[in-house]
Structure 1
Amino acid sequence: MQSYITGIGKKIREIRKEKNLYASEIARRAEVSNGLMSRIENGRTIPSLPVLLAIIRSLEVDPGSFFNSVMPNGFFKYAVIKPSEYETIEKEDDVNGFHYELILTKDLKTIGLEVVLLTLEPGCSRNTVETDAFEMKYIISGKCDYEIDGEIIKLEEGDTLFFDGRLPHVPKNPYEKPAKMLVFYLFTE
């Protein structure tokens, strides 16, 4: 049986927003830190089973219906995803200039895959983040600076960057034009 581990955080956020609850309230009820709650909702970490169950209880939903809602509707031979089917997602709250579009999410036995199209507006910035995944970035257009563990890497159209997302990292666009990159998150068990 295949699970959609990478869709758990998205579903938690969706239910929380439907119930008009703050992430901090769910974190308090589940007895986890606000930071952990944020990383789970943003797909930057995968919760342990006890933590996940505590969060589900805090949302006051039936665990069975929660898990059924994140399970796949069947297997597929291949997937063609048109730009009109991309889903705008939030990775972090209150971050200006970062536009994420979810292209694909799929668990492949022991590897979870999430593919995102990220547009960085000129001058955008945020704090560094850490992700429980390996990350690969392919620069489609424009250029940007990528900070990884305090080191700045200059990237331009056609460049590919691969790194361990557990290192503090952040993209920056100090340039005059938007930068577009294809982002691959590889979650391992």
Structure 2
Amino acid sequence: MGSANSGQEPDASTPPDPEAAIAGVGHQVRGLRKLRGLTLEELSTRASVSIGLISQIERGRGNPSFNTLIQLSHALQVPVGRLFHGPEQTSPVVRAKERRTLDLHGSGTLDVTYELLSPGLTGTLEAVWIEAPPGYDTSDSPFTHPGEEFGIILQGRHQVFLDGVCHELGPGDSITYPSTTPHWYRNEGPETVKAVWVMTPPNL
């Protein structure tokens, strides 16, 4: 059976090799930084990410969190999906088994899922499927970037902090806010949170 698929694209549902994924993201970050004419110092300032961490990422090392990748993508003026290089989808439909994973096992010991729901890399909206287990907490590295965000909770109870103010959301609850407001998230459990988040990515 294996020979029947020779020369074809790998199954989109096959999990990517973590080391290859990290190397691929590093290649994208370095290429985009040079395309924008930015030094490591300038990108570090724009993204609020340390020079050392950016250098590690560009060399395909380290274990960057999804938060870090969001900060870098906006500093580089691209959707976060652009950092995870892959074939551009032409169909408006994204099948459940074809979602692009947007995490490099960078969320500590927690099994957090981030998957791209929107098909392309150049649209005006970027939608992400999130599954955050009990204990999920990004308070140590708040997000701050241009744009606007909308989130809706499908399962569990999720705390969304906007500039330090806690908004606790349950199934069916939604929230909208400017991404320039420092924001972070927490799941105090006991149930895994499932949510859809939509954001306006930077213009290419």
Query: Is TM-score (shorter-chain normalized) higher than 0.5?
Result: yes
1:107 to 94, 109, 122: 122
Contact 2:134 2:192 in 1 (8 A): yes
Q: Which has the higher strand share?
A: 1
Deviation at 1:84, TM superposition (A): 0.6
The equivalent of 1:61 in structure 2 is none
Quote the RMSD (CA, aligned, Å): 3.8
Mapping of residues 80-159 of structure 1, within 5 Å: 80-90=93-103, 93-97=106-110, 98-104=112-118, 105-108=120-123, 111=124, 113-126=125-138, 127=140, 128-159=142-173
Shift of 1:82: 1.6
TM-score normalized by structure 2? 0.58
Identical positions, percent: 18
SS in 2 for 1:162: strand
Contact 1:143 1:156 in 2 (8 A): yes
* Shift, 1:131, TM fit: 2.8
- The unaligned stretches of length 5 or more in structure 1 are 1-10, 19-27, 50-65
In 2, Cα distance between equivalents of 1:41 and 1:71: 23
Which residues in structure 2 correspond to 1:1-189 (within 5 Å)?
Answer: 14=24, 16=26, 30-32=40-42, 33=44, 35=49, 37=54, 42-44=69-71, 45-47=74-76, 72=88, 79-90=92-103, 93-97=106-110, 98-104=112-118, 105-108=120-123, 111=124, 113-126=125-138, 127=140, 128-187=142-201, 189=203
Aligned to 1:84, the other structure's residue is in SS state: helix
Task: Tell me the equivalent position of 1:58.
Answer: none
**Aligned-partner SS, 1:14:** helix
Partner AA of 1:135 in structure 2: E
State the TM-score, normalizing by the size of structure 1: 0.62
Distance in 2, Cα, partners of 1:125 & 1:168: 14
Secondary structure of the structure 1 residue equivalent to 2:201: strand
The separation in 2 between residues aligned to 1:40 and 1:158, in whole angstroms, is 24
Equivalent residue of 1:115, what SS?
Answer: strand
CA distance in 2, matches of 1:155, 1:29: 40
**8 Å contact from structure 1 (residues 145, 155) kept in 2:** yes
Return closer, same or farther for 1:137/1:13 CA change in 2, 3 Å cut-off. Answer: farther
List per-residue Cα deviations over 1:71-110 (Å, max 9, x = no partner): 956x55xx221211112212893444332111214434xx
**Structure 1's 177 and 40: CA in aligned 2 closer, same or farther, altered over 3 A?**
closer
| Amino acid in the other structure paired with 1:139 | I
- For residues 70 and 81 of structure 1, the distance between their equivalents in structure 2, rounded to whole angstroms, comes to 14
The residue that corresponds to 1:63 in the other structure is none
